[in-house]
Structure 1
Amino acid sequence: MKAATRLQLMLMMFLEFFIWGAWFVTLGTFVLHNLQHTNDGHVGQAFLSQSFGAIIAPFIIGLIADRYIAAQIILGILHLLGAALLWYGSTLTDFTAFYPLIILYMILYMPTLALVNTVSFRQMKNPSKEFPPIRTLGTLGWIVAGLTIGYLAWEQNGKLDLTFKMAAIASVLLGLLSFTLPHTPPTRKNQKITFGEIIGLDALRLLKNKSYLIFFLASIAICVPLSFYYNFTNPFLNEIGMKAAAGKMALGQGSELIFMVIMPLLFVRLGVKKMLAVAMLAWVLRYVFFAYGNVDAGYWMLIGGIVLHGVCYDFFFVTGQIYTDNLAGPQFKSAAQGMITLATYGVGMLIGSYISGPIVNSYKTGETSHNWTSVWLIPAGIALVVLVLFVLLFKDRNFIQQEDDEAVDSIGA
């Protein structure tokens, strides 16, 4: 890969995740404190917007990016439209007006997660080695966003509306940058298209692979407890008195950055199954730390739970993206990446967001206080069950990623 291309892809990843991290981490706190007449249930509803976007994403990717319009062009259009919605959303103070707008925004944003992967993978000969360093810049973008919010004390000063304006500016920059990215044309242009292909069913052929089916179902299940982390960690940390919570949460992305760098070595040594299993175990430990941590003697447990996010995310999501890319074949890579986005951020987090809000609300002990120990042990238990079932049912064999265009061994025969 040319150095200039690598630099473009790194900047693309940085902005992609800076935009997301700029407002998403503090969304729960924003809903509870910046919007009128809201409760924990509204937090869960707000995070459902991500799932709705993820469910629709494969249809946008499968219909357009694989067939009609170059991926980088779609990426630019979606981010420019998203920028306008983010800026307008920052001016709203009522949940009934904010909710449909954030749903519309996420319908535009979630397909871009698959698009940046598609643009990246299409420039690579060896994704398992070349992708992690580039994806690392996405993690750095999320960290910079969190540190900025913490440094400027927008949480404590009730100015979280500025997070949406910051994200909108970054979205304009990425929208413009996208039109300069390497040309990533449709892979099936001028080919006959069936109805099943139009709605993205072509990528479902991957589920005929029994191991990939287990991975797909585990991806859905593990994202149920993940939604507890995304939805309520920031409100939880602010409630128990952690200062600059968004900035502290960026430590999770710092951990993610470190593990992203060493992932190529670990990937070769551990293989797919062990990487995924370690990620699920880290999920269990994270919620146990949150359940028993506090801002006094148990402060290290809170920080430990945050730092474990690097293992949770890298070992599961990035490994899953590489696994999916290797199994998909050249014609269906975009649709396959969209499908795994559907499984994780779509179906899994949809279920998690539906149940997390009522669960947290049911453990309310006062106007603004909760029994957080009981709350966090619930996602810990769910993650433990998923881990045990995955270890028992998933089978894989080590694969060798060739440096040239030779065929890659299947990961889950």
Structure 2
Amino acid sequence: MRLKLHWQILIALGLAVPAGLAAGQEAALFGITFYQLFDFVGTLFLNALKMLIVPLVVAAIITGVAGVGGAKGLGRLGSRTVIYYFSTSLLAILVGLVLVNLFAPGVVNGDPGEVFGFSADTSEIEARVAGRGMGDVADVFLRMVPVNVVAAAADGQMLGLIFFSLLFGYFMTRIQQDYADAQYNFWQGIFQTMMAITDWVMKFAPVGVFALVAKVVATTGLEAVGPLVAFFFTVLGALAFHFLVTMPLLLLFVARVNPLRHYQAMAPALLTAFSTASSAATLPLTMECVEKNAGVSNRTSSVVLPLGSTVNMDGTALYECVAAIFIAQAYGLDLSFAQQFTVVTLALLTSIGVAGIPAASLVAITIILAAIGLPAEGIGLILAVDRILDMTRTAVNTFGDSCGAVIIGRLEGEKGILQGESDKPRRTEAAVEVG
């Protein structure tokens, strides 16, 4: 009997840790280091996932919006999606704010430079974020309307691509019916093809996950936590609270479904999100799990999930807030209520449109630090543990998106969501309405 995908990925994660520790960066076979092999296989798997993103997102949104059938349906679905994403991100930030003030991981005795070890080279990061400031928040909205949609797709500017796809899908329902039907069938065909390719790529997920995690362990060993253990566990505790308390309560009382079934349904996507640290790369599998395992219709998931992978970053927003206040504490600053409110607001805004790729939140944290008068080099404090926490918060981001699809699907009146293996509905295709 073949093991289910999530068990295969879990076993791969378990084997990757000792393999990475044993190999390190120097062990070699036939002149090729194991580290180079891990890097090659992991990058190949990540590239395969990223290859699917643009055509899958565009086809999913266009067919999803067209299937909603007009302004009334789209307006209701869209407004519920935006309200959900704003609310859950704010809840996540507030959880982080409470815990970082409660445990104060950055408050130490002695010189912070000696305690935290400012040995990390932050010159590359400083160069990347040089000249950035509050104006970058406005850039989020400018990126919504790309000058060239083809260039936006090539550059991976998902916010602009999503906006274009929303417009295309909506106005596709406003043209002559025979043309609308032809367009809908074309994009639905692309979507089904991309999902089939996703199924094939995910057969290699255990191997890709093993390589990606083994590479991280080979690079950092088990020293990534080091003197930042208090900060590490504060962030981990806040993420765990949001993942294990906040979101299940929303599933239970708003969607009225069994949260345990949703954890089971999303296991492959969560493990993949953790190992790749990329919510964008995990999107194809997230859609697969939400539709096939949780039973949410394609009509809902194709609008909610692609949008969520770009604008809904619960874990990232939480992390940005905790990291900024931790750095302030390490520098001996006691932020006022107004300053902490600024941190919360910026964490909420900058988490929107943060690229769903590893370490993208470092740029957003720099914006927050500049706003409260802290040097960008403060990021050096968290570099040692950022990769591990990046993997964790990505899983939280993905879980938040999937919960949104379930909750909004239930609010839209869908039946059979998370009702168990026997009566799971298949992926549905909504008929396009025109006129």
Asked if Structure 1 and Structure 2 have the same fold, meaning a TM-score greater than 0.5 normalized by the shorter chain, the answer is no
TM tier relative to shorter chain: 0.3 to 0.5
Q: TM-score, normalised by structure 2?
A: 0.31
